[in-house]
């Protein structure tokens, strides 16, 4: 996590530096300054979170200089091999983007309902009532 903390810390320094240069050359134009300063602030928040997490956990193989590639081997998680739900999510998000671009409120409602339905389908794809204990 230290690598990520350094990455976002460097990004924050870059954003604040560019904000200072932008403010100097644009006579403190408010919209661009606000965007750059807020982006730098968000990078500080994310980098600080990664820094605090890296202090609480053991170093990962990515953080150790003496680590081998095999140190990172192992199970990463379960990935569905043949799920069609991501296609439905992409279609629903695309429909939502089109409805927002043309500001069709009725289409937004349909698209957001589709997003909720498809995300729920993806989450509960392998859910079985047999695993529930009361």
Express the helix, strand and coil content of the chain in percent, nearest 5 each.
70, 0, 30
pTM over 0.85: no
For 110, the domain range is 85-131
Answer yes or no: do 43 and 92 share one domain. Answer: no
Answer yes or no: do 24 and 61 share one domain. Answer: yes
Answer yes or no: do 55 and 110 share one domain. Answer: no
| pLDDT for position 103 | 95
Interval 90-108 mean pLDDT: 97
Decide which of 78 and 53 is more confident. Answer: 53
Is residue 61 within 8 Å of residue 72, measured between CB atoms? Answer: yes
Residue 70 belongs to a domain: no
> pLDDT at residue 134 above 60?
no
Number of domains in the chain: 2
Answer yes or no: do 6 and 44 share one domain. Answer: yes
| pLDDT for position 91 | 98
Is residue 110 within 8 Å of residue 95, measured between CB atoms? Answer: yes
1-58, pLDDT tens digit by residue?
A: 888 999 999 999 999 999 999 999 999 899 999 999 999 999 999 999 999 999 999 8
Question: Which has the minimum average pLDDT: 18-22, 44-48, 82-86, 102-106?
Answer: 82-86
Q: What is the 3-state secondary structure (H, E, C) of 19-84?
A: HHHHHHHCCCCHHHHHHHHHHHHHHHHHHHHHHHHHHHCCCCCCCCCCCCHHHHCCCCCCCCCCCC
For residues 115, 45, 37, 22, the Cα torsion angle rounded to the nearest 10 degrees is: -100
| Ramachandran assignment for 62, one of left (phi > 0), alpha (psi -120 to 50 degrees), beta (any other) | alpha
48-70, pLDDT tens digit by residue?
A: 999 999 999 988 888 888 988 88
């Amino acid at each position: 996590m230290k690598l990520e903390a350094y990455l976002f810390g460097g990004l924050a320094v870059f954003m604040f530096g560019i904000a200072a240069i932008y403010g100097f050359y644009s006579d403190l134009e408010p919209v661009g300054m606000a965007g750059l300063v807020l982006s730098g602030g968000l990078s500080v928040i994310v980098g600080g979170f990664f820094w605090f997490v890296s202090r609480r956990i053991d170093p990962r193989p990515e953080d150790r200089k003496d680590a081998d590639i095999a140190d990172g081997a192992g199970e990463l998680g379960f990935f569905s091999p043949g799920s069609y739900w991501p296609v439905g999510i992409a279609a629903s998000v695309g429909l939502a983007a089109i409805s927002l671009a043309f500001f069709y409120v009725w289409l937004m409602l349909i698209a957001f309902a589709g997003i909720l339905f498809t995300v729920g389908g993806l989450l509960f794809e392998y859910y079985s009532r047999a695993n529930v204990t009361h």
